[in-house]
Chain A
Amino acid sequence: MKTRKMNRIALTALLALLGAACLFPFFWMLRSSLMGNAEIYNYPPVFWPKTMRFGNYPSALTLFPFGRYFLNTMMITVPSVFGILLTSTMAAYALARIDFPFKRAMFTLVIASMLMPGTVTIIPIFKAWVAVGIPGGFIPLIFPAFLGGGAFNIFLSRQFLMGIPKDLDEAARMDGAGHVRILVQVLLPLLKPVLISVGLFAFILYWNDLLGPLIYISRNEQNTIAQGLANFRGGFGTDYKAIMAASCMAVAPAVAIYFAGQKYFIEGIVLSGLKS
């Protein structure tokens, strides 16, 4: 019994060590965001500011209007996450629960679409948007989320659905339920964990997107958080204390979302089992 406890302490200590290393960049971000310029650049480095300069945050806000960026980012992210959840679940349902011709081929095609880097298709897609008369704004950024939601998400949801006994569908079908009712009334409540996982992955994807907004957003007042952060990096040197304060602000909402959903998050992946 005693060795068990010792083991537990040793393992925890090992994890704590790794965890500290993992947190170090966060620490460095936070510590730099509270320093004066001269202090940040001290060498040997100073590990914690002598006086904490919380004023860096308000002054960073004049360069990085977080509220506006946040709203813009949300206006893109929220509908996109919804679209991804909706259409990836639909696709996953078909691939996991229905037998139909060319199912394998469809599945392979969907997965293969993951292989093409997005940077490559910027120009043809942009030209298409120009052709339909919407060369910019939020719509071109949100629209693709309603088109299946990406191979990775479809795959994750499909795996999760495969783990749910098919008897449930059969029983519902006996009661006269169609596919939509089976999906919405029977399966959806069980899908909560994987929906949260997919939602979180999707959220982070959109939260961090850089190239999309660069191409499609042309008005300063529509800038997103990731863009605002990238804008700090001018051609000639960088104002680190401001950029660190801005980075801390940019990370915060994502962290909050994570903690809100974390209880279900791992479960969503556990139950999907990721078996083929």
Chain B
Amino acid sequence: MKSSRKIVVAVLMIGAILGMASAQKVEITYMQWYNNTESEGQEIQATMDRFNASQGKIHVTPILVPRDGYETKVNTMAAAGQLPDTTMLSEAMAIEFAANDLLADVSSMYPKDAMPMKSLTFTYNGKPVAYSSGDVFLVLYYNKKLFDAAKLPYPPNSAEKAWTWKQFVEVAKKLTKDRNGKTADQAGFDAKNIVQYGADFNRLWWMWPIVTYSNGGGLMSPDGKNLLIDRPESVEAMQMLADLYLKDKVAPSVSDKNAMPSIDLMLLSGKVAMQTSGHWEMGVALKNSLKDGLQYGVGVLPKMKKAVTYNTGAPYGIFKSTKHLGEAMEFMRWYTSEKQQWGNITGGIIMPSNLKYYKDDAAMKEWADMPPRPPFAEFKPIIQYALNNAIQVPWYYFNGYQGLSDVLESGIDNVWNGKTTAKDYITQIMPQLQKYFDAHKAK
């Protein structure tokens, strides 16, 4: 009698504990940076709410940080042992986190048919450590009306037809106007009073080095073992880029970082006719000016020797310090899936990370055939370009790209402003670059 009562009590207690456990959701945190606005933050919150309501065992709390403050915040948290469970990493920090063994192994996170494509894999010492959940790459945006007015053909949208650098400069000259309406290829052109620039090639620290690859050189070899920036081809490419402003007079000066308006307004207001930037601009900026009459087109970057572009995408990671690896993976898998990112994909911010969304026209049309992207016929070659002609930004494999770039950029304005040549500058900075590189390169 006594012992059976004990058993009853024990069963009741176990039942109660189990009941409590199932009512209690596992708490995990998710940290993300966002680019511009409160509304973006609200969308992320709404997605979290959807996740929390969709299942009974995990509750996710988002920590939203403005882009500019992300490194500060995450490093402070790391230093105090307060890392979140899951995060959208800053690209430049992913490998560093991996190198310090802070990232959980996520290679088993995706089922085979949901794996992101190879180009979106961050690798450290040959091992995958994080994946971008969307694909973005550099393209050439242009204002169609300005081309129409000048009776010029639009920039090519496929890698095969990519302009040579010379063709690019020639067209840009015809689109560069002074205040008297003279263009840069005409006699009497007043270079001091330009009101419309033909082309601006983005000189953001991680964007411009693509020209060195295009010219047959590069910043570093794709295995992250050799620095290539002092190759003659790389130096020549840098100089050609600088000459857009210095000699060809078709580009604005490399301006005050952060003071430039967004690209849709640059194009809309006719400040520039062409500008290079990333795929996301359609969903982030360009769509905002459609109602004001902006008609933009998307072309491929001009080539020096070969048609090539950079691809990138924000990496997602799970910190090893998490106490709930399984739940964190489940959430990450859910959150980074195309289904949950569908708004960003169809909205023109990112392209899908999984190849099955590219397998035929029907699959591509499902996400690409709508504004703010151009009509599908125009955009399809661009998709091919992204798949076939893109190389990874070095932060996919090099540990400390930001620091390397701090050295490389330390005096680069002198090149862009013509106070020194690319050759002299690279010669001068090379010892320091090499030293930094050797201390950080893959082993």
Contact = CB atoms under 8 A, between A and B. Distances in A.
B269 A41 contact: yes
Interface string B220-261: 000000000000000000000000000000000000001011
Contacts of A220: 38, 41-42, 45, 62, 64
B119 to A, nearest CB: 22
Contacts of A13: none
B40 to A, nearest CB: 9
B345 to A, nearest CB: 19
A68 to B, nearest CB: 9
A65 B42 CA distance: 11
B37 A37 contact: no
Interface in A54-101: 62-65
Interface residues of B, number: 44
Contacts of B285: 236-237
B284 interface: yes
A75 B42 CA distance: 22
Interface string B30-71: 000011111101100100000000000000001111111100
Given A123-B76, A215-B76, A237 B265 contact: yes
A135 B82 CA distance: 8
Contact of A126 (B68, B80, B289): B80
A234 B41 CA distance: 13
B288 interface: yes
B402 to A, nearest CB: 14
Interface in A13-45: 36-38, 40-43
Contacts of A239: 36, 262, 288
Given A37-B265, A127-B80, A231-B66, A236 B38 contact: no
B38 A235 contact: no
A128 B161 CA distance: 60
Interface hub of B76, B79, B263 (most chain A Cβ within 10 A)? B76
Contact of B281 (A65, A218, A236): A236
Contact of A237 (B72, B82, B263): B263
Interface string A132-156: 0001000000000000000000000
Interface string A187-229: 0000000000000000000000001001100111001000110
B271 A227 contact: no
A240 B284 CA distance: 15
Interface string B271-295: 1000001101100110011001000
Nearest to A127: B80
Contacts of A122: 72, 76
B262 A236 contact: yes
A263 interface: no
Nearest to B41: A220
Contact of B36 (A62, A215, A232): A232
B442 interface: no
Nearest to B262: A237
Given A122-B76, A130-B81, A62 B39 contact: yes
Given A123-B79, A235-B35, A38 B66 contact: no
Given A38-B292, A126-B79, A234 B195 contact: no
Interface in A222-266: 223, 227-228, 230-240
A153 B425 CA distance: 49
Contacts of A41: 261, 265-266, 268-269, 271
A214 B289 contact: no
B32 to A, nearest CB: 11
A215 B195 CA distance: 43
A231 B260 contact: no
A260 B330 CA distance: 55
Interface hub of A40, A218, A237 (most chain B Cβ within 10 A)? A237
Nearest to A223: B38
B69 A214 contact: yes
Nearest to A69: B38
A236 B35 contact: yes
B67 A237 contact: no
B82 A130 contact: yes
5 contacts: A38-B265, A130-B82, A214-B65, A231-B66, A238-B261
- Pick the 9 closest A-B CB pairs, nearest first: A237-B262, A234-B35, A234-B36, A41-B269, A63-B37, A231-B66, A218-B63, A130-B80, A214-B69
Given A38-B269, A122-B76, A127-B80, 20 more contacts: A36-B292, A37-B265, A40-B265, A41-B265, A63-B37, A63-B38, A123-B79, A126-B80, A211-B72, A215-B72, A220-B62, A231-B34, A231-B66, A232-B37, A233-B66, A233-B68, A234-B37, A236-B262, A236-B278, A236-B280
